[in-house]
Each structure stands twice: as C-alpha cells, then as structure tokens.
Copies of this chain bind each other. A is one copy, B any other.
Amino acid sequence: MKSTTEYLWFSTKDRRELINITDEVGKIVTKSSVKEGFCLVSAMHITAGIWVNDEEDGLKADLMELLDQLAPFGKDYRHHRTGEDNGDAHLKRTLMHHQAVLPITKGKLDLGPWEQVFYAEFDGQRKKRVVIKVIGE
C-alpha cells in the first residue's frame, strides 16, 4: 500500500469563501502514483468545510445564503461567551460536512462530470489548513 499526505494552507481575503481546489488535489493524486485508492480531503479547522458540487457562481451564492439562513452570522450564540464571534461558522461546517473521500481510478480522481471540490471557508482572514491523504496502490 502506498500513501501520501499533503497539507494545503489558506488565508482568505474575505470571511466567507468557496475556493475550488480540484486541480490541486488532482496534482497530489498524480504525484502519489496511486492508481487505485481513496483520497481524503478534510478541513482541519473547525470553522471550514469541504463541498463537492458545481463551479457556478449563482449556486455558490445560493449555498452561502442557505447556510447563513440556517446558522446566521451575528446571532447571539452561547459559544460567543468564550469571546469568539464565529458560532455560525462551526454550525455551517457541520451542516455542509467537513470532508469528502474521492475515489482514485486508473491514477485519476474518479469524479462525476460536474463534480468540483471546494474548500469552504466560513471564518477566514487567517491561516487555516486542509489535509489531503491518499492511500492505495
């Protein structure tokens, strides 16, 4: 069994962003030389998630609107008694989920025709990390 572990760092300009990382993940898979296996993509900070969906601006805005409707920014969360102001971001990560496992087939990410992989930042403007781990043969 082979394995490769890499970390992507992000420091977004805006508080909330969706960043397409499909190509970067694909390059790590190529470098790993794994032909058949799994590639885990997981946000290591607990106010960020991973989204596998469409590269379409309208949809990305719809998604962020929905999450903000369900877990509004600026609400008086109990979590804020610790001095934080990012309770919404923890909840948004939960609703979206924070990771995806991508199949690798014949040496490539085996994604559907429209599947793109996004890093979803809900409390950015500081350095945060995603782990990419490939296992297989």
Which A residues fall within an 8 A CB radius of B? Answer: 1, 3, 5, 36-38, 40, 42-46, 51-54, 56-59, 61-63, 66, 70-71, 77-82, 87, 90-91, 93-101, 103, 105, 110-115, 129, 131, 133, 135-137
Given contacts A46-B112, A54-B90, A70-B70, whether A62 and B77 have CB atoms under 8 Å apart is yes
> Which 6 A-B pairs give the minimum distances between C-beta atoms?
A44-B112, A58-B78, A3-B36, A59-B79, A103-B133, A58-B79
List of B residues within 8 angstroms of A63 by Cβ: 90-91, 94
Q: How often does this chain occur in the complex, in copies?
A: 3
**A56: min CB distance to chain B, Å:** 6
- Identify 8 new A-B residue pairs, CB closer than 8 A, beyond the known A59-B87, A63-B90, A95-B95: A1-B136, A5-B110, A38-B133, A56-B82, A59-B79, A62-B87, A103-B131, A110-B131
Main secondary structure of the interface of A (DSSP, over half): mixed
Q: A114 to chain B: which residues have CB within 8 Å?
A: 45-46
Q: Which residues of B contact A80 (CB under 8 A)?
A: 58
User: If the complex has contacts A66-B70, A112-B44, are A99 and B98 also in contact, measured as CB distance less than 8 A?
Assistant: no
